[in-house]
Amino acid sequence: MTNTLQTPRVVNALDRMFAESRDQFALMRTGGVDFSRLESASPQERADTLGEYYLPISPEAGRLVYSLVRAARPQTVVEFGMSLGISAIHLAAAVRDNGCGRVVTTELAAAKVARAAQTFTETGLDDLITVLHGDALQTLQSIDGAVDFVLLDGWKELYLPVLELLEPRLVPGSLVVADNTSMKELAPYLDYVRDPSNGYVSVPFPVRDSDSMEISCRV
């Protein structure tokens, strides 16, 4: 049985990327980035400032989204917030192993788009991934056809606007997975998907000690 996550070039790429991200987070904790200044910055300014930094899902969350995509067998997977591509690799690996589908991902930072493209080629998954460079609220308007799976992992205040943009393309049974849902900025998003009148069945799912994901099914 095929598991692309266990192929040497994917394993090597993910091991390297997770190790680099751990080193970066250690540097951030010692004051390497002025987060107070970023709080008032625009999404583009934040993206450019953090253009060399990983903002990744955890290894556990990566395996979770891989498993969900394998089970749901979506034709179109949309990711909001590619960063340097760790989550997109997990999504594309699942699409590869399903034998059908595509991944469309979005990113504001040009530096990240360039680096991620190299990594996707390195892993052999580049033929499954389309990267939309720019403001996701603009670029995602180009999506054609139904959307069966969504991963939200970009700027937190944009989760709800991105979801509302994609909603007309969500089919019954579509899954929407939101990362970092313990953050206070996501309260409006959580209120929305947890309100049954908005058309979702939603459940929190812990993926690390201090954070969780929200998995919502479009009904």
pTM of the model: 0.89
**Beta 102-107 vs 129-133: how paired, if at all?**
parallel
pLDDT above 90 covers what percent of the chain?
66
Of 17 and 165, the structure prediction assigns the larger pLDDT to: 165
Output the pLDDT for position 23.
79
Output the pLDDT for position 57.
83
Pick the CATH number of 4-12+53-218 from 3.30.450.40, 3.40.50.150, 3.40.50.2000, 2.40.50.140: 3.40.50.150
What mean pLDDT is predicted for residues 170-193? 95
Q: Give the pLDDT confidence of 107-163 residue by residue, as tens digits.
A: 988 888 999 999 999 999 999 999 999 999 999 999 999 999 999 998 889 999 999
Of 102 and 39, the structure prediction assigns the larger pLDDT to: 102
- Domain residue spans of the chain: 4-12+53-218
Distances (CA, A) of 204 to 149, 166, 213, 217: 17, 21, 6, 12
- The pLDDT confidence band at residue 2, using thresholds 50, 70 and 90, is confident
Of 44 and 38, the structure prediction assigns the larger pLDDT to: 44
Distances (CA, A) of 119 to 17, 88, 122, 161, 182: 10, 10, 5, 29, 30
Checking if the pLDDT of 24 tops 70, the result is: yes
Of 56 and 18, the structure prediction assigns the larger pLDDT to: 18
Pairwise CA distance, residues 189 & 107, whole Å:
20
Of 47 and 91, the structure prediction assigns the larger pLDDT to: 91
Token pair for 93: 């690996």
